Amino acid sequence: MIKVEGLVKRFSGVAVLDGIDLAIKQGEIIVVIGPSGTGKSTLLRCLNFLEHPDAGRLVIGELDVDVTRASRADILEARRRTAFVFQNYALFANKTSLENIAEGLIVVNRWPRQKAHARAREILERIGLADKADAYPAALSGGQQQRVGIGRAMAAQAEVILFDEPTSSLDPEWVEEVLGLMKQLAQERQTMLVVTHEMSFARDVADRVIFMEGGRIVEQGPPDQLFSAPRDPRTRDFLRKVLATQVAVDSSR
């Protein structure tokens, strides 16, 4: 259970997040869409304090903090209760796939090495990269790197996995394998908050789609409703533009 109330984030005076309220149930899959620069990524980054929010309340499982008073311990706690998948994968370049996945278990959760590696191997199996356990990131394709990135997030056993445009840096040929893995996680009812421009993923997988613009949530609802009968003109406008280009891309794939 995750709850955000009145979340505000300003960058040099400009409110990038302008009072976000959001509740996420366990096992819920939420996709956030919207034009670029409207604070989607910032919202994700505020949930684990990669950006420090300026106001608001944050509840993640047992953690319940007023963000302006968050202590160092609260911040670590928030980070341990969430997991993050980065647009550019952000794998540890000095560690193998196996070590990338096991790192948090060893360092943060203080698991013995052997146990952590056994768990990492299970995860590699699930993400279809068992044969790449000892490969370093530099030797992996973009798609493989992002799957390891997701594997690293899975290992954290967080309350929620935050996906920040996980396929945006990928060559088109690798997008499907990453989306496939995310669908697999969704079927296992892993709680997910996904920022993406992949509208077909939103339509097929999300329980709820959120449309953001100007640092606010403009409209939200189940994908059927939001995509076929958007209420707000801004949503309609955005969808018209995006779907037009995306249909072209999809049919050329």
Tokens 């309340």, located at residue:
57
Q: Which residues contact 70 (CB under 8 A, 6 or more apart)?
A: 49, 52, 58, 78
Min CB(141)–other proteins separation in Å:
11
- Min separation Cβ 78 and other proteins, Å: 9
93 binds other proteins (CB under 8 A): yes
DSSP single-letter state for residue 137? G
Q: Determine if 107 is a binding residue for other proteins (CB under 8 A).
A: yes
Q: Does 91 bind other proteins (CB under 8 A)?
A: yes
- Rounded Cα–Cα distance for residues 130 and 223 (Å): 34
Distance CA(246)–CA(200), nearest Å, equals 9
DSSP code, position 100? H
Does 247 bind other proteins (CB under 8 A)? Our answer is no
- Residue 244 as a binder of other proteins (CB under 8 A): the answer is no
Distance separating alpha carbons of residues 159 and 146, to the nearest angstrom: 20
Name which of residues 139 to 168 contact other proteins (CB under 8 A). Answer: 139, 152, 156
- Identify the three-state secondary structure at position 33: strand
**Is the Cβ–Cβ distance between 203 and 233 less than 8 Å?**
no
- Select from 48, 97, 146, 191 the one that contacts other proteins (CB under 8 A): 48
Q: Provide the minimum distance between the beta carbon of 157 and other proteins in the complex, in angstroms, as a whole number.
A: 11
- Please report whether residue 103 would count as binding other proteins according to CB under 8 A: yes
- Two tokens, residue 123: 């995860």
Instruction: Based on the shown chain and the rule CB under 8 A, indicate whether residue 11 belongs to the binding site for other proteins.
Output: no
Between 79 and 132, name the residue whose CB sits nearer to other proteins.
79
Give the H/E segment covering residue 6. strand 2-11
- The answer to whether 79 contacts other proteins (rule: CB under 8 A) is yes
Contact residues for other proteins (CB under 8 A)?
Answer: 48, 50, 76, 79-80, 82-84, 86, 88, 90-96, 103-104, 107-108, 136-139, 152, 156
